[in-house]
Amino acid sequence: MKYQNDIILRAARGEQVERVPIWLMRQAGRVLPEYKATRSRAKNFVEFVKNPDLAAEVTIQPVDILGVDAAIIFSDILVIPEAMGLPYQMIEAKGPWFENTLTSKSDIDALRIADGNDLSYVIKAIELSKKGLNNRVPLIGFAGAPWTIFAYMVEGSGSKTFSQAKKFLYQQPQLAHEALEKITQSTINYLKAQVAAGADMIQIFDSWAGVLGQEQYKTFSLHYISKICNELSPIVPVTVFAKDAHFALADMAVLSCNTIGIDWTINPQDARIIVGHQKTLQGNADPCLLYAEECVIEQEARKMIQAFGKQRYIANLGHGLYPDTEKHKVKFFIDCIKSL
């Protein structure tokens, strides 16, 4: 066996496991004082992401400190817009901000199709993380889904509705497809470079799936996610996580991916019926569960495993950890899952 612990890869491939594997979205982040200490050594978030030594350090922290079954490379989904020509900033307490956004055909014509060379700092961070992990656990690579990336590139910041991005779909659908195609090609190049550098599995984050209706979701999001799955799944296990996309589960079940991530609004048994038995499910605890007393966390962890079953399942939250979660509660939740 290549890894001391490869349980997550076996679960993704649908092989037998002796216990349920677990990692947490946003595990490399602000719930760890150790993360904050490393982050303070960089000038700002973008510089932090671009520093392979620091990025590798925080990638490994959750494996050492929390005992998760996989590391996820510390980076951000917004490195793709930057590599394509739209740089971003991360504004404290506010979130992402883009000086330039996509509005017209000339903006989209000007976008470059990125590849691994444009993101050499992430590739370097992956190589360093692999060295530091020393085959203890696998490393997860990731990218945003084209729709979510497009949404940020049009909107220029976070938004509750992403109404500017949706307006674009209604007013200039052909142009939206051109942009989505360029983002998709860039993402495929980028993910292949991550795998070549050592990423053992890949997750696609469609954080803003839930603002689209079912038909638009198929046309403007799943169509492109499917292209990424077709290119990547022959080489590594692929997970698709689409937040608030319960309406799309049946369509996601036919993607060529190994794992589907679900949020806490979806009942595990319903998800299994819709998705069938050919895929692994991942999720789906409410991140707010980790504010509860330990006895409640334990009870809910037990219910979650009973509902999903031990095989073809990877435990996780239904979205990223909230920054004000206490580290000992996060550790407690992970230990519960591993002991059940």
Q: Would you say 52 and 79 are in contact if contact means Cβ atoms under 8 Å apart?
A: no
Residue partners of 291: CB distance under 8 A and separation at least 6: 325, 329
The interface region with ligand CP3, picked from 21-29, 224-232, 261-269, 283-291 by CB under 6 A, is 21-29
Cβ nearer to ligand CP3, comparing 78 with 175: 78
Q: Is 159 exposed, middle or buried (0-12, 13-18, 19+ CB in 10 A)?
A: middle
Min dist. Cβ of residue 309 to ligand CP3 (A): 25
| Residue of 19, 30, 136, 272 marked catalytic | 30
The interface region with ligand CP3, picked from 23-31, 124-132, 270-278, 327-335 by CB under 6 A, is 23-31
Residue 326 has a CB neighbour count (10 Å cut-off) of 11
When binding is defined by CB under 6 A, the residue of 142, 150, 162, 308 that contacts ligand CP3 is: 142
26 labelled catalytic: yes
312 labelled catalytic: no
Helices (H) and strands (E) in the chain, counts: 16, 9
Q: Does 78 contact ligand CP3 by CB under 6 A? A: yes
When binding is defined by CB under 6 A, the residue of 37, 41, 64, 95 that contacts ligand CP3 is: 95
Min dist. Cβ of residue 82 to ligand CP3 (A): 12
Min dist. Cβ of residue 304 to ligand CP3 (A): 20
**Would you call 281 helix, strand, or coil by DSSP?**
strand
Q: Does 96 contact ligand CP3 by CB under 6 A? A: yes
Min dist. Cβ of residue 332 to ligand CP3 (A): 19
Q: Does 67 contact ligand CP3 by CB under 6 A? A: no
Q: For the residues of 220-243, what is the DSSP string, one character each?
A: IIIHHHHHHHHHHTTTS-EEEEET
**What are the two backbone dihedrals, phi and then psi, of residue 117, each rounded to the nearest 5 degrees?**
-65, -30
Q: Which two tokens stand for residue 183?
A: 């983002």
CA dihedral 311, 333, 55, 280 (to 10 degrees): 20
152 labelled catalytic: yes
Cβ nearer to ligand CP3, comparing 30 with 272: 30
When binding is defined by CB under 6 A, the residue of 14, 67, 210, 320 that contacts ligand CP3 is: 320
Cβ nearer to ligand CP3, comparing 14 with 210: 210
39 labelled catalytic: yes
CA dihedral 177, 181, 183, 185 (to 10 degrees): 180
Return the residues of window 188-227 that contact ligand CP3 according to CB under 6 A: 205, 207
When binding is defined by CB under 6 A, the residue of 72, 111, 191, 225 that contacts ligand CP3 is: 72
Cβ nearer to ligand CP3, comparing 203 with 226: 203
DSSP 218: I
Angstrom distance (rounded) from CA 235 to CA 258: 12
Catalytic residues: 26, 30, 39, 76, 152
